Chain A
Amino acid sequence: MDPFPFFDWLDRSLLADIAKAYGGVFAVVQMFHLVALALLGGMVLVGDLRLLGVVLKDVPSKVVTDNTQRWFDIALIMLIVSGVFMSAAVALKLYHNEMFWAKMAALATGAVFVYGVRRPLLRFDHDTLNPWAVRMTAVASLVVWFTVAACGRWIGFS
């Protein structure tokens, strides 16, 4: 299924008109996008490094992951909403950008992994979980969100 019609529609939408015509609005939305990226990255780092036993060792890992997950959800919603608005300004350019598709693939993988695997696993008492399952989940989470961030940054250079 070719998503071109969606990008073509997005390029001619009201959202695109606003994003293209008002540089100030675009800049403010971009600021929210970057703040959300920092928040999401921070929550991933704190949560997963705690699971790996690197940081906050004196705080139970369940307390850390439960709290970071809440802010992760908020950051992800902010990222998607602001990201759609920003994409509208350059929709057709993004459609032809390889790194954009790499980022979208990583983002979809990350979301499925977090809500389908990481969160259900971490609902159990962490002390009773297989330590390798916890470690592998933390490493995979770090890797996939690093890939999302790096590909996102790379879009600007490609």
Chain B
Amino acid sequence: MSKPRLEKLSIVLSLAVIACAAWFWAGQIGNVLEMLSLLEG
């Protein structure tokens, strides 16, 4: 694969990975807060 194409692909896939992770952790935020409160308790 040519360098310019690989650079574009890496930017697009990186954004996709970051977006998926953000979506996943946004969905888990309630569980995270609950776990933190359990750890404090």
Residue numbers of A with Cβ under 8 A of B are: 102, 106, 109, 113, 117-118, 120-121, 124, 128-130, 132-133, 136-137, 139-140, 143-144, 147, 154, 157
Contact = CB atoms under 8 A, between A and B. Distances in A.
Interface residues of B, number: 18
Contacts, number: 56
Interface of B: 1, 3, 6-11, 13-15, 17-18, 20-21, 24-25, 35
Given A121-B6, A136-B18, 10 more contacts: A106-B21, A117-B6, A120-B6, A121-B7, A130-B7, A130-B11, A133-B7, A133-B8, A136-B11, A137-B10
A101 to B, nearest CB: 11
B21 A117 contact: no
